[in-house]
Copies of this chain bind each other. A is one copy, B any other.
């Protein structure tokens, strides 16, 4: 197999090593300035896969740093031309290409409004990198597949690096350095399991992905990856929201990918799994303790729940890839998509 998507999925452990090492000095400089300027809250501006990464960032910064985080609605700036008073804020634009006009506009306006601004991007020469005061680079190498993988996980790694230096948590940093190893392990563990489960999904027209809390990012990124490469209508849910109404609409045999990593969310996720099973849905659990079956995919815990999303997305990326192959689709050229989506 010479698929670009598959190669890039496998490059992720090395890419993460480069991201952590390459961005450390720039991160320290940003943290020093944020503390000097007494930043009171953080705003993240992103679209698509980068927006899913930002969802991880918001949970992580709030949990680890105790600082409030919001996700920007770019259209407030681009469509409604609002002038938002970003006093005392750190505003972070996230985009692998750095070419999205809407995100660049948010960062440009925030900088004018006096906010501290940061670009997280894989493209050093991008407009985004030139617009923000500070830049953290993903160091992922050029991403050729239309479906983003290594720019997603390296962005998560940069968020984790930033949170660990901001909170001065040596423990989180140590765990972060071990993430590439856990990722290698999950790649190995997925080799035989994922293709078998993927084949059982050939006729699935609809899927659900479900996670909670810090892991919600994994649910929304999995859903996007599966939808855009395999054309399966895939809807992500936080388990709390699912129980607030939409569970009534889950039909018999609907495949539900449940992310059940070790940690705070596991008890509720197992409860949701039981409720979905009782409704006749097909529950496929991703967990580090399960028994080999068609309804199970292995996870590898990276030492702390806080970093689990960096590793847990890998089996879902591979599931999207192998479902493509099983359906005879081209994983590198999803229909109707281009690498850079420009929205205003």
Query: Using a CB–CB distance below 8 Å, which chain A residues touch chain B?
Result: 40-41, 43, 47-49, 51, 58-59, 62-63, 66-71, 73-76, 79-80, 82-89, 102, 147, 205-206, 212-214, 216, 224, 227-235, 240-241, 243-251, 254, 264-265, 279, 334-337, 341, 343
Q: Could you tell me if B244 and A47 are in contact, using CB atoms closer than 8 angstroms?
A: yes
CA distance A87 to B62 in the complex (A): 14
In the complex, what residues of B have CB within 8 A of residue A71's CB?
70-71
> Which residue on chain B has the smallest CB distance to residue A82?
B63
In the complex, what residues of B have CB within 8 A of residue A337's CB?
245, 248
Q: Could you tell me if B67 and A62 are in contact, using CB atoms closer than 8 angstroms?
A: no
> Which residue on chain B has the smallest CB distance to residue A264?
B79
Q: Could you tell me if B343 and A244 are in contact, using CB atoms closer than 8 angstroms?
A: yes
Q: Could you tell me if B66 and A68 are in contact, using CB atoms closer than 8 angstroms?
A: no
In the complex, what residues of B have CB within 8 A of residue A232's CB?
249
Q: Could you tell me if A246 and B264 are in contact, using CB atoms closer than 8 angstroms?
A: no
In the complex, what residues of B have CB within 8 A of residue A224's CB?
244-246
CA distance A130 to B335 in the complex (A): 54
Q: Could you tell me if A73 and B58 are in contact, using CB atoms closer than 8 angstroms?
A: yes
CA distance A43 to B70 in the complex (A): 8
CA distance A248 to B73 in the complex (A): 23
In the complex, what residues of B have CB within 8 A of residue A250's CB?
233
Q: Could you tell me if B66 and A85 are in contact, using CB atoms closer than 8 angstroms?
A: yes
CA distance A80 to B227 in the complex (A): 30
Nearest-CB distance from A270 to chain B (Å)? 14
Q: Could you tell me if B265 and A249 are in contact, using CB atoms closer than 8 angstroms?
A: no
Q: Could you tell me if B231 and A48 are in contact, using CB atoms closer than 8 angstroms?
A: no
Q: Could you tell me if B79 and A336 are in contact, using CB atoms closer than 8 angstroms?
A: no
In the complex, what residues of B have CB within 8 A of residue A83's CB?
66
Nearest-CB distance from A201 to chain B (Å)? 14
Q: A63-B82, A205-B251, A235-B233 are in contact. Are A213 and B73 (CB under 8 A)?
A: yes
Nearest-CB distance from A133 to chain B (Å)? 18
CA distance A49 to B245 in the complex (A): 9
CA distance A84 to B48 in the complex (A): 27
Q: Could you tell me if B62 and A76 are in contact, using CB atoms closer than 8 angstroms?
A: yes
CA distance A239 to B308 in the complex (A): 31
Nearest-CB distance from A6 to chain B (Å)? 19
In the complex, what residues of B have CB within 8 A of residue A74's CB?
240
A48: which of B76, B245, B335 is its contact (CB, 8 Å)? B245
Nearest-CB distance from A90 to chain B (Å)? 12
A41: which of B41, B73, B244, B341 is its contact (CB, 8 Å)? B41
Q: Could you tell me if A82 and B62 are in contact, using CB atoms closer than 8 angstroms?
A: yes
Q: List 8 A-B contacts (CB under 8 A).
A: A49-B245, A75-B240, A80-B214, A224-B244, A233-B235, A233-B250, A244-B341, A245-B341
